[in-house]
Amino acid sequence: MSAKYVSNKTILFITAAVAVVSVVVKAEDVLDLSAGDFKSAIGQHDTVLVEFFAPWCGHCKRLAPEYESAATALKNNDPPVPLAKVDCTSDGGKDICSEYGVSGYPTLKIFKGGEFASEYNGPRESDGIVKYMRSQVGPASRLVDTRKKLEDALNKAKDAIVLGVFEKDDSSADLQKKFLKTADKLRESVNFVHLFTSSVGDALALKQFAELKDLKAPTVLLVRPKDMKNKFEPNVVEYSAAGDDSIDDFIKTNYHGLVGFRTQNNNNDFKTPLVVVYYDVDYVKNPKGTNYWRNRVLKVAQNYRDLSFAVSNHLQFAGELEEFGLEAPKDRDAAPAVGARDSKGKKYGLKQKFSVESLEQFVKDLTDGKLEPYQKSEEVPTDNDSADVKVAVGKNFDDLVTKSDRDTLIEFYAPWCGHCKKLAPAFDELGKLLKDEPGVQVVKMDATANDVPETFVVHGFPTIYWYPKDKSGPKKYEGGREAQDFLQYIAKQSTNELAGYDRSGNKKETQKEEL
């Protein structure tokens, strides 16, 4: 059809379509606040999350799509929780950011009743932001007063819901009191809902609860989201008030089920020994495909209740896959990769192609202690014995450091780290000063190319530890970074007094005379 034959009706249709698209792609659900409207805007809402950002900030750019997605979800929350942003580089934004002590980007703060309430310390991805902010509004447990509201809450849930069912509102009732106390304690991580059968008499007749027999109030139920339903475990678990477990313990034990969906936000929920299966886990866009593989993991997990099992998105945990020496699946339909950690933190990877049978054998060998742990390591330098500063790698760490008959000062560094490069000359000088000392050694390790033992906690570079030969454990070095600072520290801390230096780090007289 040529342009001259386009009808008015067609033009209207195209215009409407473009308008619809613009609503979808615009980030208009995030309130863009300036100095003139900041206080009045946040004062209109009970709770507001505000992002203070700079347009050039890389972290802010990465947060933007997650923040916008969360804003859309929370806009429809009951009650709504607005998300706002302030450009700290704009003329008016500078004053606002200064008033609230913003020193880095992005900084997120929670405002309640128009006043600053607290720093935002939650996740930085959409689902995590939504969950965290929902926990900040209203009571710790949401009351539902109709059967339809209960059904809606259960059907729309993305995470497990802990449901309290009570005969009537009686705050002195033991189970209700325990439930509300637990809800208040766990409100930032768990979704709590409660009801009273005096107003919702047929609540326990829902088909979701049909698998439980003789169910009656008062009771507490953990209901897993429908996308996680499977034939290997019940989708609804009832808390036994007669047992010794608290409601808190009941939730922790049952929340993730046999095979949990492990993300960056809930990673700490999963304790070792842990088996993780990595693939294109996506319960939003591809729940059917996600459960295709998860069901196969469940088939194995049901036989090993003493282990923790999880599925994780291979892109979110790409760095972790590298730590296992594993390659990520190439596409959505590719077979998953499998990594595991035992109770001591040692790492293992499934070398065979994933199948129920290969996973079963892998888990069996893991529990029987038959697997060879994977260790990321460079090769041991051939000239290490004669080096002033010795090099530790994954393969020789125990022999060189933890099993050594010498005290050790060890630096964990990264090749790209500017502070490490600045430290290098002082560390080399220290090595020369102590090269003839029989009781101590100076060691360095590239912590990006080698596995660091769990007893040495390294969160940044350089990180320096003192490890005495009595095996009493590592002690973090917090002193100066010049060679003389290190020497004085070692002279004082060494198990035996140094041959060439006194306890203050001064050269001994015999050494001075020889010079």
Summarize pLDDT for 263-313 with one digit per residue, the tens: 988 998 999 999 999 999 999 899 999 999 999 999 999 999 999 999 999
**pLDDT at 5 exceeding the cut of 60:** no
Phi, then psi, of 366 in degrees rounded to 5: -65, -50
Catalytic residue numbers, as ranges:
57, 60, 417, 420
Q: 384-514: same fold as 259-367?
A: yes
The band of 25, judged by pLDDT with boundaries at 50, 70 and 90, is very low
pLDDT tens-digit series, residues 76-107: 887 889 999 999 999 889 999 999 999 899 99
Average pLDDT score over the chain: 89
Select 259-367's CATH number: 3.30.70.360, 3.40.30.10, 3.40.640.10, 3.30.110.40. 3.40.30.10
pLDDT tens-digit series, residues 30-75: 999 887 789 999 999 889 999 999 999 999 999 999 999 999 999 8
Look up tokens 């520290």; give the residue: 489
Q: Are 82 and 48 in contact (CB under 8 A)?
A: yes
The whole-number average pLDDT for the span 237-250 is 86
The band of 469, judged by pLDDT with boundaries at 50, 70 and 90, is very high
DSSP state of 69: H
The band of 11, judged by pLDDT with boundaries at 50, 70 and 90, is very low
The band of 8, judged by pLDDT with boundaries at 50, 70 and 90, is very low
- Pick the more confident residue, 20 or 245: 245
Helix/strand/coil for 376: coil
- Candidates 176, 274, 281; CA nearest to 218 is 176
**pLDDT at 224 exceeding the cut of 60:** yes
Cα separations in angstroms, 174 against 177, 181, 247, 249: 5, 11, 12, 17
Angle, helices 126-134 vs 58-75, to 10°: value is 50
For the 141-254 domain, the top CATH level (class) is alpha beta
Q: Are 262 and 294 in contact (CB under 8 A)?
A: no
The band of 27, judged by pLDDT with boundaries at 50, 70 and 90, is low
The band of 454, judged by pLDDT with boundaries at 50, 70 and 90, is confident
Residue 220 CB-half CA count within 13 A: 26
- Candidates 296, 293, 275; CA nearest to 283 is 293
- Candidates 370, 237, 366; CA nearest to 309 is 366
Q: Where are the beta strands (DSSP E) in 191-246?
A: 191-196, 219-223, 236-238
Look up tokens 């069996």; give the residue: 364
Cα separations in angstroms, 24 against 17, 82, 117, 250, 393: 11, 18, 31, 41, 51
Q: Where are the beta strands (DSSP E) in 20-70?
A: 30-33, 47-53
Rounded Cα distance between 132 and 124, Å, is 10
The band of 447, judged by pLDDT with boundaries at 50, 70 and 90, is very high
- Candidates 266, 261, 146, 165; CA nearest to 209 is 165
Rounded Cα distance between 422 and 374, Å, is 33
Cα 68 to the center of its chain, rounded Å: 21
Give me the count of residues in the chain: 515
The band of 512, judged by pLDDT with boundaries at 50, 70 and 90, is low
What architecture does CATH give domain 14-134? 3-Layer(aba) Sandwich (3.40)
Largest CA distance in the chain: 105
Partners of 260 in beta bridges: 310
DSSP state of 507: B
**pLDDT at 416 exceeding the cut of 60:** yes
The structure tokens listed for 194 are: 């409660």
The band of 257, judged by pLDDT with boundaries at 50, 70 and 90, is very high
The whole-number average pLDDT for the span 223-251 is 90
What architecture does CATH give domain 384-514? 3-Layer(aba) Sandwich (3.40)
Q: DSSP states of 167-194 as a string?
A: SS--TTSHHHHHHHHHHHHHTTTSEEEE
Rounded Cα distance between 504 and 515, Å, is 19
Rounded Cα distance between 344 and 166, Å, is 43
> What number of other Cβ atoms are within 10 A of residue 343's Cβ?
10
- Candidates 279, 274, 295; CA nearest to 340 is 274
The band of 331, judged by pLDDT with boundaries at 50, 70 and 90, is confident
Question: In the prediction, which pLDDT does 184 show?
Answer: 86
Q: Are 372 and 319 in contact (CB under 8 A)?
A: no
For the chain, give every domain's residue range.
14-134, 141-254, 259-367, 384-514
